[in-house]
Amino acid sequence: MLTFNLLVAAALAYVAFLFTIAFIAERRASLGKVAWLRGPLIYTLSLSIYCTAWTFYGAVGFAARSGLEYLTIYLGPTLVMLGWWWFLRKLVRIGRSQRITSIADLISSRFGKSTALGVIVTALCVVGVTPYIALQLQSLTLSFAVFADAGGSEWVAGDLNAVALYAAGGLAVFTILFGTRNLDANERHHGIVLAIAVEAVVKLAALMAVGIFVVWGIAGGVEQTLARIEASDIAHWEQSGGRWVGLTFVAAAAFLCLPRMFHVLVVENDNERHLATASWAFPTYVMLMSLFVVPIAVVGLDLLPEGSNPDLFVLTVPLNQGREGLATLSFLGGFSSATSMVIVATIALATMVSNHIVVPIWLRSRGQGAMMSGDVRAVVLTARRLSIIGVLTLGYVYYRLSGGGAALAAIGLISFVGVAQILPVMMGAIFWRGATRVGAAAGLTTGFAIWAWALFLPSFGEGAILSARVLAEGPWGIGWLRPSALFGFDALDPLLQAALWSMLLNTAVFVVGSLLSFPSPLERLQGAQFVNVFEHSAGAQTWAPNSAQAEDLLIVAQRIIGPTEAQAAFQRAARAQGKAGYLPDVTPEFVQTVERMLAGSVGAATAHAMVSQTLEGAAVSVEDLIAVADEAAQILEYSNKLEAKSAEQERTARALRDANQKLTALSIQKDAFLSQISHELRTPMTSIRSFSEILREGGTDVAAQQRYAGIIQDESIRLTRLLDDLLDLTVLENGQVVLNQQEGSLADLLDRAVDTSGLRSGGIKVIRRPADEAIALSTDLDRLGQVFINLVSNAQKYCDAENPELRIVVRQTPQGPVVDFIDNGSGVPEASQEVIFEKFSRLEDHARAGGAGLGLAICREVMLRLGGEIFYLPGQGGAAFRVVLPKSQAMAAQ
Amino acid sequence: MAKRVLLIEDEPNIIEAISFILSRDGWTVHTHSDGETAADRVRSLPPDVIILDVMLPGRSGFDILRDIRSDPATQDLPVMMLTARGQTKDRELAEQLGANHFMTKPFSNAEVLTHIRALLAGAATPCDPAEPNLEP
Amino acid sequence: MAQMPRQPLFLARSSYRQRRLRDAIRFLPITGIVLLMLPLLWPRGPDGPGNGQVLIYIFSAWSFLILLSFLLTRRLRNDDAEEGNEPKAEDG
């Protein structure tokens, strides 16, 4: 017989294993090896915390009691995942662009970073989820009790309580250890995510193992199992349509709204693409989880004595068959379900409690605002740790108070309906720009109140909180306020009618409240940001007074995200603005960046409050803007202008940057040119001097004399040409050039240019289309010809193709006829395209090709004088220059 | 046996002029005009004296000098550098890299001969400070 | 990606396919609701189908939906998912 101590040892070993895994994951993450931790598979598995002990153990009980209805709990999330394109994709995008830390943060942030809404949602979640945590503790203790029973030792309540206490304590340690290691929500909880992924595998494997054992080991095959179903108490399809639809809806809503689900779905999401995988992988997971539920239920009902708790069939059936190993595995599966749920739910709740309740209160109590306070970082972490302990304590106390009885078992669905109250506001938040803070608060409060009255308070049982009389007759005898039959509808199932009324009224109040109230500008801006997240993933515009000090912001940021990171972020921002040091200008964008940075740690509302306080801008709050602009529409316009203005500024800044780069490049080029010009002058001079000395010394034969004299002459011409070019350019630049108007045709001019460059004799191959060239010109043909000659000889000099080709293409464009000179060489590198027309510029690689790099500069000046244009044409496969012929002088031939 | 000089220069006219002057003085003149392969040429020859231009296609004279000086087989060869740029920093760089002499173009033929002979004799004349510094 | 007002009216064939693929993904949950709510139309009690049959039907429908989602999302192109905004100018 499996001893109880052995089981405890197994559980402890398993816990040690989880700690190790989490620890290794954190270690690897800190070494930057996170890729495998952030894959779609781990993401999908982490979603499995949806399947808690309540579903692990309870689904079988559910099936034993009400047939196939348990499936709705899994079908709801399946539909949500299948519809990922509609909701989850948007939620995840918003979550990332706004750095949302929890569902309370989402709602608060959307409705103008409202602290009040954050508190409401947090309260709702704490009230709704705490009993759920208690339920997990209960299932843990019950499963221990099963083994204790089987081992022959009857347990007393004290032992069970001790188990619950140890479990809660152990979970608190684990959660604090791995859940509050770092503050920035972007640095997610690798250790925890991996641990729950492992637990996901364990619980699926455990349930499948029990299922396979039941179907093939006990029933003897699929057909026999089906036969057993036909013969059982739940043989017939008697499902109530209302509950089927209603529970599916509630499960779907809870899947989106449960704080722990929001945490793994949105906050821990690393990549939107993972949703695509999870959209089929997660439904597969829950399908497998529910596959063997009915067989286990049916076989359990058959095998076990009348009155056995069907909630524990997963454990008791294997035990009954003497399969202790299987029972232990099953126990670990249930253990996994309970612990993973509690860990993530606690983190999610603690984040909300610390960000939306503790830190704001603490800030307010300091009075002086964020500036005066000490190390906020430590405070936030402490707040979060205390919140974790608080949440778990609450769960334990709830478990003790409720007595761990059957009342608790019903809490699963009640809890679902509770958190589902957030759904209307959440949908409004991401799809309806007209949703307002007032409407959201009213709707949430209404839904919360109805749920508490009709479901939550009665769940404690008669006389616990509501007296039997109130339950039976309504408060003060008002019958239509009876919790189980609101407005006199007692035909419906109590759960269903409570869900129906709470959701309906919640939605109605939310919508009407939104329609009637008027949003603050910040709300409207945030609304636009959320609803249109796909159009512009930029942040909301915030008001940043100019008096704000970057230094103050830095101080605050350092306290929250730590000095190193804050300084790095500020330095980055400063550099992006073109400033040195750590203090960027306090632009609206920068304020937003800081706010988001802080939001990742303390939530949007708190971050906003801190930044506003720091900027001394609390006075220039949004309310003041209304006074100035009296219509929120104007604020929107303002934000648009701001956007346009910042875009304009950015353009200007870019233009300045470009100019600066060009100047730097030019000044380098200018230095280079001076030594270049020296080189160009001295090189011919060297030959001239040397050969003239040789000739003067005499003693050479006549042929040599002639040859040397020829060299001297050539080099003199080369020198003269260089001086001519320099002079020409100076004249052109000073505008002293006299243009000589002539008539002629483009074809002739090109002919002449090709001839003069000596291309006919070989070297580069010239491709032309004479038909296009029949264009009459009326301009200074000598000057235009000079440009063409330059371009053609450039191609000859610089084209590095094996079979060099130059295409001269004449095109008609809206600007008039243009002539493109395109060669098949390697072209001009992009970086150099900017400067080739500057005088003195010459590409390094071609330093030897002759000329001092004045040709293109002269071309540009000439075209400028003629009233045309010349520029480099990128993307033509080789070097390509386009000459736009002078407009007024160019006429079509016919 | 005639002493060998390797002239690394890419201006054909200057090559011709220097070759003429040195051949007339009894030298065997080898010429090389590509920067990329110049160092290999030095190794394979190796000459008694090297005349090295700074601006060469493919590789600068300074880089080539660095190669020559870092190879044990060639590090002791006397090198005279030529440049048409004539900036002080070029001269300094050449000295730093271990050039035995540095001459600015244009030069007088006699000057070239004097220095080349001196280099061969091992009495490397230091860069002449009196030489006009033609930095622009 | 702020303002992209000029969406082309006609798309290349592959972009067109991607758009329709996204439409198909949008229809998935609707298909799911129809398939999974269908058993509610069946007669209840001893005259109707047994729970065994309903179970088989639901798991078949479930598997079908999963397979469909798998096939559709697998063909979804990465870049399109990133760009992912709702198409304003529907192509025809």
> Rounded to whole angstroms, how far apart are CA atoms A790 and A124?
80
Report yes or no on C58 lying in a domain.
Answer: yes
Helix A422-431 vs helix A411-420: crossing angle, to nearest 10: 30
Q: Between chains, do B87 and A711 touch, taking CB under 8 Å as contact?
A: no
Q: Give the pTM.
A: 0.59
pLDDT one-digit tens code per residue, A196-229 = 899 999 999 999 999 999 999 888 888 888 888 8
- Please give the average per-residue pLDDT across A543-570, as a whole number: 65
pLDDT band at B126 (very low <50, low <70, confident <90, very high): very low
The span from the first CA to the last CA of chain C, in angstroms, equals 24
Contact yes or no for A45/A218 (Cβ under 8 A): no
The residue that leads in pLDDT, A642 or B134, is A642
Report yes or no on C38 lying in a domain.
Answer: yes
Contact yes or no for A80/A88 (Cβ under 8 A): yes
- The dihedral built from the CA positions of residue A440, A442, A443 and A449, taken in this order, carries a sign that is positive
The length of chain A, given as a count of residues: 894
Token output for B50 = 């090297």
pLDDT band at A760 (very low <50, low <70, confident <90, very high): low
The residue of chain C with its CA nearest to that of A286 is: C62
Residue C82: predicted pLDDT: 41
pLDDT band at A418 (very low <50, low <70, confident <90, very high): very high
Residue A628: predicted pLDDT: 34
The residue that leads in pLDDT, A877 or A404, is A877
Residue C32: predicted pLDDT: 92
How buried is residue A873: exposed, middle or buried, by Cβ count under 10 Å (0-12/13-18/19+)? middle
pLDDT at A625 over 70: no
R_g of chain C computed on alpha carbons: 19
pLDDT band at B136 (very low <50, low <70, confident <90, very high): very low
B109 → closest Cβ in A675, A683, A693: A693
Residue C42: predicted pLDDT: 86
pLDDT at A275 over 60: yes
Residue A559: predicted pLDDT: 67
Q: Between chains, do B106 and A694 touch, taking CB under 8 Å as contact?
A: no
Task: Say yes or no: domain A4-420 is CATH 3.50.50.60.
Answer: no
Report yes or no on C73 lying in a domain.
Answer: yes
Report yes or no on C41 lying in a domain.
Answer: yes
Residue A639: predicted pLDDT: 59
pLDDT at A821 over 80: yes
Q: Contacts of residue B106 in chain A, CB cutoff 8 Å? A: 682, 685-686, 688-690
Closest Cα in chain C, distance from residue A229 (Å): 6
Report yes or no on C90 lying in a domain.
Answer: no
pLDDT at A619 over 70: no
Mutate to test the interface with A, among B9, B10, B13 (most CBs of A within 10 A): B13
Residue A182: predicted pLDDT: 61
Residue A154: predicted pLDDT: 58
Mutate to test the interface with A, among C73, C80, C86 (most CBs of A within 10 A): C73
- In the three-class reduction of DSSP (H, G, I as helix; E, B as strand; rest coil), residue A592 is classed as helix
Residue A136: predicted pLDDT: 86
> Rounded to whole angstroms, how far apart are CA atoms B21 and B41?
22
Residues with Cβ within 8 Å of A525's Cβ and at least 6 positions away in sequence, in order, are: A540, A541, A635, A636, A639
- Mean pLDDT, chain A, rounded, equals 79
Closest Cα in chain A, distance from residue C51 (Å): 5
pLDDT one-digit tens code per residue, A40-93 = 888 899 899 898 888 888 888 888 888 888 899 999 999 999 999 889 999 998
Per mean pLDDT, which range of A157-161, A332-336, A845-849, C51-55 is the poorest? A845-849
Q: Given this structure, which CATH class describes domain A640-733?
A: mainly alpha
Does B136 contact chain A (CB < 8 Å)?
yes
Percent of chain A with pLDDT over 90: 15
Residue A2: predicted pLDDT: 57
- Please give the average per-residue pLDDT across A738-755, as a whole number: 85
Q: Contacts of residue A715 in chain B, CB cutoff 8 Å? A: 13
> What amino acid occupies position A491?
A
What is the CATH topology of the domain spanning A742-892?
Heat Shock Protein 90 (3.30.565)
Token output for A409 = 């078992």
Other beta carbons within 10 angstroms of residue B25's beta carbon come to: 16
Residue C92: predicted pLDDT: 33
- In the three-class reduction of DSSP (H, G, I as helix; E, B as strand; rest coil), residue B4 is classed as strand
Q: For the domain bounded by B4-121, which CATH number is listed?
A: 3.40.50.2300
- Structural domain including C74 reads 13-82
Contact yes or no for A346/A130 (Cβ under 8 A): no
Alpha-carbon separation of residue A852 from A173, A717, A723 (angstroms): 76, 14, 10
Residue A842: predicted pLDDT: 52
For chain B, domain boundaries? 4-121
pLDDT one-digit tens code per residue, B21-59 = 998 888 899 999 888 888 888 888 888 899 999 888 778
Secondary-structure percent of chain B, ordered helix, strand, coil, rounded to 5: 40, 20, 40
- Please give the average per-residue pLDDT across A794-810, as a whole number: 83
Token output for A201 = 């595998």
pLDDT one-digit tens code per residue, A668-722 = 766 666 777 777 788 888 888 889 888 888 888 888 888 888 888 888 888 887 7
Per mean pLDDT, which range of A634-648, B10-24, B58-72 is the poorest? A634-648
Residue A285: predicted pLDDT: 95
Residue A644: predicted pLDDT: 64
Percent of chain A with pLDDT over 70: 79
Instruction: Name which of A88, A552, A66 is nearest A311 in CA terms.
Output: A66
CA angle A382, A613, A436 (to 5 degrees): 90
Contact yes or no for A61/A356 (Cβ under 8 A): no
Structural domain total, chain C = 1
Give ranges for CATH 1.10.287.130 in chain A: 640-733
Residue B131: predicted pLDDT: 44
